[in-house]
């Protein structure tokens, strides 16, 4: 079997060596158009969220390996095909407890957001803008899973006042309170069943001047409504993700010149986390592959 990987820079040396031992491979940093022209001539595709795999009627693909929890970078039509096995980190809860990259990046974005206006003026001769601290800030955490719980624990150690909302347990009243009083809101919910969760009604409740952090998925927010709120309510949006990231330059939020900071889906990309997830996903794939 032959394997294609369009994200050479975002995979560990370990997995590249293991692939070359077993498969004829094309491991490179490919433009998404070139990748989609070539991908369907291979039986195995290895990718991260940096590339979007489109559906094609005639395809040789039998396995898709994606060391990610979300799969919105794979065409929905492909996901429905029984002949293609998708191996990912979805629902691998015990393993994911070991992965810390997105937790750390969330804390970085929170700290950065509180000093953002100050940092922008570092090259100025007269710095007159003061930063802010986490201590005593009301921070709303939407999603109380593995990432939300770790983020909450770290923020508490800084002296933040934490309000947690868990979709499966808490009621609408608690969410509305979180939205209306939080100085900063950080999002940690999966895309599945939560498309446009953060809709115009919720956005309109958010406190004036609130900072929103998103290291989940762009599609969980109504970005058009958020764009209006950023202008009207001076909300700031610090995000690692946007909807339709394969064509992010056309996203409505990218037209804003103020109060938005986008890091292009790098939260999970540390040397440690990449090697850890590469090993897990490739070994999981080999068990399935060797059975067939």
Instruction: Locate 73 and state its tokens.
Output: 């970078």
Q: Is 14 left (phi over 0), alpha (psi -120 to 50) or beta?
A: alpha
pLDDT at residue 125 is higher than 90 = no
Query: Mean pLDDT score of the chain, rounded to an integer?
Result: 95
pLDDT at 249: 86
Give mean pLDDT, residues 45-70: 96
Strand partners, 211: 184, 236
Residue 195 has pLDDT above 80, yes or no: yes
Which residue's structure tokens are 């115009």? 200
| Residues 133-154 pLDDT 10s | 999 999 999 999 999 999 999 9
Task: Give per-residue pLDDT as tens, 70-115.
Answer: 999 999 999 999 999 999 999 999 999 999 999 999 999 999 999 9
User: Would you identify the CATH topology of the domain 2-94+271-291?
Assistant: Rossmann fold (3.40.50)
Strand extents, DSSP E, the chain: 2-5, 24-27, 44-46, 63-66, 85-88, 138-142, 161-165, 184-187, 211-214, 236-239, 260-262
Q: Where are the domains of the chain?
A: 2-94+271-291, 101-262
| pLDDT range class, residue 128, cuts 50, 70, 90 | confident
Look at the block and give the residue holding tokens 């804390």.
107
Q: Report the C-alpha gap between 45 and 29 in whole angstroms.
A: 13
Distance CA 69, CA 67 (A): 7
User: How many Å apart are CA 229 and CA 185, to the nearest integer?
Assistant: 14
Q: Tell me the DSSP string of 106-132.
A: HHHHHHHHHHHHHHHTTTSSS------
The answer to whether the CB of 173 falls within 8 A of the CB of 126 is no
Which residue shows structure tokens 């994911």?
A: 96
State the pLDDT at residue 246: 82
* DSSP conformation class of 167: T
User: How far is 66 from 44, CA to CA, in rounded Å?
Assistant: 11
- Residue 233: the pLDDT is 85
Gap between the Cα atoms of 70 and 85, Å rounded? 15
User: What pLDDT score does 291 carry?
Assistant: 82
Digit-coded pLDDT (tens) for 204-262: 999 999 999 999 999 999 999 999 999 998 899 999 999 988 888 889 999 998 999 99
Residue 248 has a pLDDT of 86
Write the class of the CATH domain 101-262. Answer: alpha beta
Which residues participate in catalysis according to the annotation? 217, 245, 265
């Amino acid at each position: 079997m032959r394997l294609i990987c369009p994200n050479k820079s975002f995979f560990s040396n370990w997995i590249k060596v293991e692939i070359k031992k077993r498969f004829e491979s094309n491991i490179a940093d490919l433009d998404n158009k070139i990748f989609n022209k070539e991908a369907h001539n291979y039986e195995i595709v290895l990718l991260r969220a940096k590339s979007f795999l489109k559906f094609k009627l005639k395809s040789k693909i039998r396995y898709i390996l994606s060391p990610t929890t979300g799969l919105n970078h794979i065409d929905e039509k492909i996901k429905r095909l029984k002949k293609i096995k998708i191996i990912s980190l979805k629902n691998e809860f015990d393993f994911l407890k070991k992965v810390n990259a997105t937790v750390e990046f969330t804390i970085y974005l929170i700290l950065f957001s509180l000093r953002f206006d100050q940092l922008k003026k570092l090259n100025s001769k007269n710095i007159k803008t003061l930063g802010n601290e986490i201590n005593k800030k009301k921070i709303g955490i939407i999603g109380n899973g593995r990432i939300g719980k770790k983020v909450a624990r770290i923020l508490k150690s800084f002296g933040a006042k934490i309000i947690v909302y868990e979709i499966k347990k808490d009621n609408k009243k608690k969410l509305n309170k979180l939205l209306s009083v939080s100085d900063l809101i950080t999002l940690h919910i999966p895309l599945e069943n939560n498309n446009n969760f953060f809709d115009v009604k919720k956005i309109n409740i958010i406190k004036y001047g609130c900072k929103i952090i998103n290291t989940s998925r762009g599609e969980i927010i109504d970005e058009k409504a958020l764009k209006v709120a950023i202008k009207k309510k001076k909300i700031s949006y610090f995000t690692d993700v946007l909807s339709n990231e394969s064509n992010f330059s056309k996203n409505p939020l990218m037209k804003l010149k103020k109060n938005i900071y986008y890091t292009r889906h790098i939260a999970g990309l540390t040397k440690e986390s990449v090697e850890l997830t590469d090993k897990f996903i490739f070994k999981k794939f080999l068990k399935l592959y060797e059975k067939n």
